[in-house]
Amino acid sequence: MRTIAMIGTGYVGLVNGTCLAHIGHSVQCCDTNADKIEWLQQGRIPIYEPGLEAMVAENVAAGRLSFTSDMASAIEQSDLLFIAVGTPMAPTGAADLGYIQSVAEFIGRHLTAYKTIVIKSTVPVGTGRMVDSWIRANMQNPQIPFDVVSNPEFLREGSAVADFMKMERCIVGAIRPEAAQLVADCFEPLNTKTYFTTPESAEMIKYAANAFLATKISFINAIANLCERYGADVEDVAEGIGSDSRIGSAFLRAGIGYGGSCFPKDTHALNWMADQAGYNFGLLKEVIQTNEEQKYVLLKKLVQALGDLRGTTIAVLGLSFKPNTDDLRDAPSLALIPALIAAGASVRVYDPVAMSEARKWFGSDVNYGIGVYQTIAGCDACLILTEWREFITLDLEQVRQLLKRPIVVDGRNCYSLASMSGHGIEYHSIGRTAVSAEQTVLSRL
């Protein structure tokens, strides 16, 4: 087993560092944010990720996992240095490599013996060679050998721990086979399939995977919009095409678009790379545009149902971009809620875990509910933006009674049309026929 320094304690670094410790490695997670390190040393987890808190506690107690802000010491004590810092989107759409460069230069200044440097962050094609040059430019002794290896991650927020422990594949991009094997061996206890490539191919695999999944999402959302115009049901369509083994059913769930820390940033970065290479990636541009427009579909449905939104009170259920996370980055709620406010509505919000994060984004612009039913009480309509289980299992009779006007606009198709019948609720969803309150009442007669 190896000694590892995981540089960066965000979603990627904290989950990977903890899981690597869990399979037997000695891992120091390090970060320049001293407050975050102090939190982690106290057993407080700065992100919401199912199963992570218990796994951190277990591996800290076992002595395999620790947290430090002394990055120089962690580098000196470790065999492998994993870089897991953020690559946020720059105004141009490119990935901002400022944090990557800063870490690479720091490693160069503190390199005293051979190390394998593993890039876990999502980075543009060619970054591995740039990291190599940044390290070399800062070395006091240029004779010290090192390797830079690309090892992209494919963990989904909300199921990241499970995804790591049941890893589908491991991508290792390196120049020297010995360095590639050293990294692959770190994941050997997982019995996963490893693919060895060049660094450039490994970097492209990450972007290509995310862009392809984003394409499936935008495609089914475009089909959903067409289904509404022709009276078809997008869920029937998705099931029909998803049963084709060449297509597959994953990521064919219609809704209000993708969000989070990966897909928006990575699709823009890949589009930027294409532009830089002189290639017009028209398909990807349409994927991005479709996703941006899809965020506002619910607003149009709400206006159709209520008319003028001035003076109305709208309940918004779900703020995170997906269930089982408190991450609001590029969540549809960040676009829809300001649009509702601009239209003159008062907005009351609730999310099972993301309320603290929501206050950072929305401040005093919205009212914060306490539980689902208190949030919707007296509202003119209810919007569902995230398919939390708590929302999927609502007591619909109680919903009808509490709403001032029994209108539910569902951006995640949480309910079947049949299940809405008999409750007296006007129900609008994505890619399906609307159900009127009169229809649901008549179904009980």
Residue ranges at the known binding site: 31, 36, 87, 122, 154-157, 206, 251-255, 259, 265, 322, 329
| Domain boundary pick from 293, 314, 341 | 293
Res. 437 pLDDT band, cuts 50 70 90: confident
Looking at the chain, the whole-number percentage of residues with pLDDT higher than 70 is: 98
Query: Considering the chain, what is the average pLDDT of its residues?
Result: 96
What does each C-alpha distance from 23 to 58, 114, 152 come to in angstroms?
12, 24, 19
Q: What is the mean pLDDT of residues 351-369?
A: 97
- Please check whether residues 390 and 401 belong to one and the same domain: yes
Of 249, 271, 293, which residue constitutes the final position of a domain?
Answer: 293
Give the domain extent around 222. 206-293
Helix (H) or strand (E) holding 103: helix 98-109
The confidence score (pLDDT) of residue 421 equals 82
In the numeric block, the tokens 């980075």 are attached to 123
Answer yes or no: do 85 and 155 share one domain.
Answer: yes
**pTM, full prediction:** 0.94
Clarify whether residues 242 and 229 are in a common domain.
yes
Assess whether pLDDT exceeds 50 at residue 442: no
Does residue 283 sit in the same domain as residue 300? no
* Boundary residue ending a domain (248, 267, 293): 293
Q: Are residues 24 and 59 in the same domain?
A: yes
Annotated binding site for substrate: 154-157, 206, 251-255, 259, 322
259 with 333, same domain: the answer is no
Which residue, chain included where needed, has tokens 């944090």? 99
State how far the alpha carbon of 248 is from the alpha carbons of 219, 243, 439, in Å. Answer: 13, 6, 35
Q: What is the pLDDT of residues 30-73, one digit of tens each?
A: 999 999 999 999 999 999 999 999 999 999 999 999 999 999 99
Confidence (pLDDT) at 326: 95
**Are 319 and 282 contained in the same domain?**
no
pLDDT of residue 438: 66
Q: Is the pLDDT of residue 445 over 50?
A: no
Pair (214, 324) in one structural domain = no
Alpha carbons 112 and 127: distance in angstroms, whole number: 23
Q: What is the pLDDT of residue 422?
A: 83
Share of the chain above pLDDT 90, in %: 96
Neighbours of 169 (CB within 10 A): 11
Instruction: Say which CATH number the domain at 242 has.
Output: 1.10.1040.10
pLDDT in tens, 363-401: 999 999 999 999 999 999 999 999 999 999 999 999 999
DSSP state of 47: S
Report how far Cα 21 is from the mean position of its chain's Cα atoms.
23
| Spatial contact of 363 and 309, defined as CB atoms under 8 Å apart | no
Q: What is the pLDDT of residue 289?
A: 98
Q: What is the CATH number of the domain that holds 103?
A: 3.40.50.720
Positions at the binding site for NAD(+):
31, 36, 87, 122, 157, 265, 329
Number of separate domains in the chain: 3
Same domain (yes/no): 247, 344: no
Is there a single domain that holds both residue 305 and residue 265? no
**Distance (Å) of CA 134 to CA 101, 200, 339:** 7, 17, 44
Task: Please state the rounded mean pLDDT for residues 234-262.
Answer: 97
Q: What is the pLDDT of residues 319-334, one digit of tens each?
A: 999 999 999 999 999 9
Q: What is the mean pLDDT of residues 4-27?
A: 97
Same domain, 224 and 357: no
Please give the positions annotated as active site. Answer: 262
Q: What pLDDT does 439 receive?
A: 58
Cβ burial 46-79 (10 Å sphere, 16+ → b, else e):
ebbbbebeebbeebbeeebbbbbbebeebbeebb
Q: Are residues 13 and 31 in the same domain?
A: yes
